[in-house]
Structure 1
Amino acid sequence: MKGLLLSVAIFATIALSHGAEKLHPLSDEFIDAINNKHTTWKARRNFDVNTPMSSIRQLLGVLPRKENAPKLPLKIHPEDDIEIPITFDAREGWPDCEDIIGTIRDQASCGSCWAFGAVEAMSDRICIHSDAKTKVLISAEDLNDCCTDCGDGCNGGWPDEAWLYWSQKGIVTGGLYGSKDGCKAYSITPCDHHVNGTLPACGEIQSTPVCTSVCDDGTNLVYAEDKTTGTAYSIMQSVKQIQIEIMTNGPVEADYDVYEDFPNYSSGVYQHTQGDYEGGHAIKIIGWGVEDGVDYWLAANSWNAEWGDRGYFKILRGENECGIEADIIGGLPNL
Structure 2
Amino acid sequence: MFCFRNYMIHLLFLFVLFALPISITAELEDEFIQAINKRKLTWTARHNFAKNVSKDDLKKLVGTRSDFYTSDENPVLTHRVNMSSIPKYFDSRNHWHWCRDVISHVRSQGFCSIAWATAPASAMSDRTCIESGGRVKKSYSAEDIMTCCLECKIDLNPCHGGWHHKAWNFWVKKGVASGGDYGSKEGCKPNSEVAYHHGPPTCEHKCSNDHYQIPYDEDKEYGRFTYKLSEDERQIRAEILSHGAVTSVMDVYEDFFSYEGGVSVLDQNGKCLILSAGVYQHFYGKYVGTHVVKIFGWGEEQGEKYWLAANSWGPSWGNSNGTFKITRGAQECEIEREVRGGRTLGKLSPREYLWKSPNSAKPKQNLQAIYFLLPFLLHLVNS
TM-score range, shorter chain: 0.7 to 0.9
Separation in 1 of the partners of 2:11 and 2:237?
A: 51
CA displacement, residues 89-136 of structure 1 (integer Å, 9 cap, x when unaligned): 001110000010011111112211111110000000000000011111
Q: Distance in 1 between matches of 2:344 and 2:338?
A: 20
**In 1, Cα distance between equivalents of 2:32 and 2:123:** 34
- Please give the residue correspondences for 1:244-255 in structure 2 after superposition, counting only pairs within 5 Å: 244-255=238-249
For 1:225 and 1:63, how far apart are their aligned partners in 2? Answer: 36
Change (3 A) 1:14 1:256: closer
Match of 1:270 in 2: 280
Asked whether 1:32 is paired with 2:34, we answer yes
Does residue 169 of structure 1 match 2:169? Answer: no
Q: How many residues were matched structurally? A: 320
* Secondary structure at the counterpart of residue 48 of structure 2: coil
Secondary structure (helix, strand or coil) at the match of 2:60 reads helix
Once the two structures are TM-superposed, the CA of residue 17 in structure 1 deviates from its matched residue by 10
* Aligned residues: CA RMSD: 2.8
Given the alignment of the two structures, is residue 155 of structure 1 paired with residue 184 of structure 2, yes or no? no
* Cα separation, partners in 2 of 1:130 and 1:255, compared to 1, 3 Å: same
Question: Structure 1 residues 292 and 15, CA, compared in 2 at 3 Å: closer, same or farther?
Answer: closer
Contact in 1 for aligned 2:120/2:164 (Cα 8 Å): yes
The answer to which of 59-68 and 274-283 deviates more is 59-68
Contact 1:62 1:282 survives alignment (8 Å): no
What's the TM-score, normalizing by structure 2? Answer: 0.77
- 1:199-210 aligned at under 5 Å gives the runs 205-210=197-202
- 1:271 maps to a residue whose letter is Q
Residue from 212, 215, 219 that aligns with 2:204? 212
- 1:58 deviates by 1.3
The one of 312, 321, 328 aligned to 1:302: 312
Q: Among the aligned pairs, what percent are the same residue?
A: 41
What letter corresponds to residue 210 of structure 1 in structure 2?
A: T
- Give the equivalent residue in structure 2 for 1:288: 298
1:225 to 218, 231, 241: 218
Letter matched to residue 103 of structure 2: I
CA distance in 1: counterparts of 2:84 and 2:132, whole angstroms: 23
How far has the Cα of 1:83 moved from its partner?
Answer: 1.3
SS in 2 for 1:142: helix
Give the counterpart letter for 1:300 in structure 2.
A
Gap regions ≥5 residues in structure 2 = 262-277, 347-383
SS in 2 for 1:306: coil
Q: Tell me, yes or no, if the aligned pair for 2:131 and 2:345 is still in contact at 8 Å.
A: no
Give 1:207 shift.
Answer: 3.6
Gaps of 5+ in 1: 192-204
The CA distance in 1 between the partners of 2:254 and 2:301, in whole Å, is 23
CA distance in 1, matches of 2:10, 2:42: 32
Distance 1:177 1:226 in 2: 19
State the AA in 1 paired with 2:212: T
Is the aligned partner of 1:318 residue 2:329? yes
2:251 aligned residue (252, 257, 271): 257
After TM superposition, the score normalised by the length of structure 1 is 0.87
Once the two structures are superposed, what CA deviation does each residue of 1:196-248 show, in whole Å capped at 9, x if it has no partner?
Answer: xxxxxxxxx51435321101311011111111111210110011110110010
Report how far residue 81 of structure 1 moved: 6.5
Query: What residue identity is the alignment partner of 2:204?
Result: T
* CA distance, structure 1, for counterparts of residue 35 and residue 142 of structure 2: 37
Instruction: Find the counterpart in structure 2 of residue 182 from structure 1.
Output: 187
Q: What code does the residue aligned with 2:334 have?
A: G
Indicate how the Cα distance of structure 1 residues 18 and 323 shifts in structure 2: closer, same or farther if over 3 A, else same: closer
C-alpha contact 2:147 2:158 (8 A) present in aligned 1: yes
Contact 1:62–1:255 under 8 Å retained in 2: no
Matched, 1:333 2:326: no
